Amino acid sequence: MYFNQKFNVSAIQMRRLGVFNLEIGTDNKMFVDSKLLESAQDEFAGAHSQLLSYFAKTVDLIKLSKKPGDLPWQSACARMQFKEISHTGLGCSSKGTDGNGIGKVLAEKIVQRAADILPHVGFQPDVFELIGVFAENLGCDRLSDMIVSILRGRFFAYTDRITRTLGVAQTAAFTIGDKTFVFPKLERKPLVLVPRAILKPLPVALDIEQALDNADLNAAVRAELNKMFADAQKHNAVPGRTRLREFIRTNPKILSQIIEGYQRAQGIPYDFDTDPHRVSDVEAVAQEIVGNPGIDTSAIPQEGRAMACLTTTLDHFEQAVQENGLSDCLFDDDGKPRKEVISQRLLFAVAGIFGKLYNVDVSREGNAGVGSVDFRFTVGYKDRLLVELKLSTHSRLKDGYYEQLPAYAKAEGIKQLVLLIIRISDDVSHIEKLLTAINEKELPIQVRIIDAMPRPSASKRHTSS
């Protein structure tokens, strides 16, 4: 169950606000990427500088320490201990969603490893953002929990604003310091919300190989590293991370090169449109679009079910786009249209729900040797149809109508064809050219256009009588 379903709020609005719609009761295999904090906005503007400032104070304590166990050392270790932040829904814990936290033993290990590394990198606090590369048992999930703990005031303020904006009814107020925050309440515990813009899917282990790739290694070191990988490949393997860490620690110059490479690297946001890790909430959005339809399919003959299913799908999709704010999901915060794939994924999710109601098989990206078609609706062999979806800015709208769909139809022996066009621009020249061509030469292909251009809210549409 997704957050929006548990708390009875809109998944579409959550997408519009950019908040991660977590699945309740399970870790969502995501982590807060400190690199993405560099360009974060709203409550998280300046968060990366705050993070580095926190680490810098820890570095100062390590520099003051004369030996492990003295007062500065103990103070540094205390700064690296973090209680778990309940219910962020991130990470990969197998024991619920309460996060991992960092206790005394692991904190001491982090400080010891940092103390080994810092002299070789000019005591730069960025070390702590890469500590998982150098230290065992500290993956991205624990680093993420560390970041949430350090920046908890920002996460609480963000959660408070989003909770109020969404109109969450099941809430609890908590006073932390001199501020009171409102959180969604889940089983007596506050649930912390996180913006999608600072999240990435969690790797199984921190990518040491990527850290080495980013480093400016000299030819000799690179050759030694390449030999290590070549030797491992002879056994169809990759060098173990323990061996890679040892390689790094025995080559002090590599440490500074890794830090420099990390500092140069740009934070690359996760592509929630293509969503290769399947962490997005497309199914939740689709369920919101569909609602709880009462559809009686008993009177529909078998050979009409595929088209009936598609028509119902498109009717609901169009209403959601034009009336219920789904168009906001098709544009980014700057008003730029998102990739075609997001429209395809949303439509496919909606079609899948209606496919079960109509007993119609809905599939994607079928291929009969002439390329791929977006959707196929099938009931047995006789009742089959193909749907090609294109954005209105696509330069090949005419090709879709006159070449692609006819080629698919011929290859698969299907006669029912639909070209769906999603209008996402004031420039309708491609649509007009297609319609003009159709007037001159019409093919047995249905064309449906859904206008996804953002509209003013209902309150702004009223005109004086």
List the pLDDT tens digit at each of the 465 positions of the chain. Answer: 899 999 999 999 999 999 999 988 777 778 898 989 999 999 999 999 999 999 999 999 999 999 999 999 999 999 999 887 666 666 444 444 445 678 899 899 899 988 988 888 888 888 888 777 776 666 777 788 889 999 999 999 999 999 999 999 999 998 888 899 999 998 878 889 999 999 988 764 455 666 677 676 767 767 767 776 676 666 665 556 677 777 777 777 778 788 888 888 788 889 888 888 888 899 999 999 998 887 888 788 888 999 999 999 999 999 999 888 888 889 887 888 988 989 999 999 999 999 999 999 999 865 433 345 589 999 988 899 999 999 999 988 999 999 999 998 888 889 999 999 999 999 999 999 999 999 999 999 999 999 999 876 544 444 443
Distance CA 189, CA 170 (A): 11
Token pair of 141, please?
A: 């999930």
Distance CA 379, CA 16 (A): 36
Element (DSSP H or E) covering residue 387: strand 383-391
Helices (H), 265-374: 282-290, 305-323, 340-358
- Give the number of other Cβ atoms within 10 Å of residue 227's Cβ: 10
Q: Is 229 helix (H, G, I), strand (E, B) or coil?
A: helix
- Give the number of other Cβ atoms within 10 Å of residue 366's Cβ: 16
Distance CA 72, CA 75 (A): 5
Distance CA 336, CA 333 (A): 7
What is the predicted pLDDT for the residue at 296?
Answer: 82
What is the predicted pLDDT for the residue at 370?
Answer: 36
Q: Is 23 helix (H, G, I), strand (E, B) or coil?
A: strand
Pair 248, 255: CB distance under 8 Å = yes
Q: Which residues of 251-269 are buried (b: 16+ CB within 10 A; e: fewer)?
A: beebbbbbbbbbeeeebee
Calculate Rg over the CA atoms of the chain.
27
Q: Which residues of 78-89 are buried (b: 16+ CB within 10 A; e: fewer)?
A: ebbbbebbbbbb
What is the predicted pLDDT for the residue at 333?
Answer: 79
User: What stretches of 146-234 adopt beta strand conformation (E)?
Assistant: 171-176, 179-186, 189-190, 199-201
* Global confidence as pTM: 0.83
Angle between helices 104-117 and 71-79 (to 10 degrees): 110
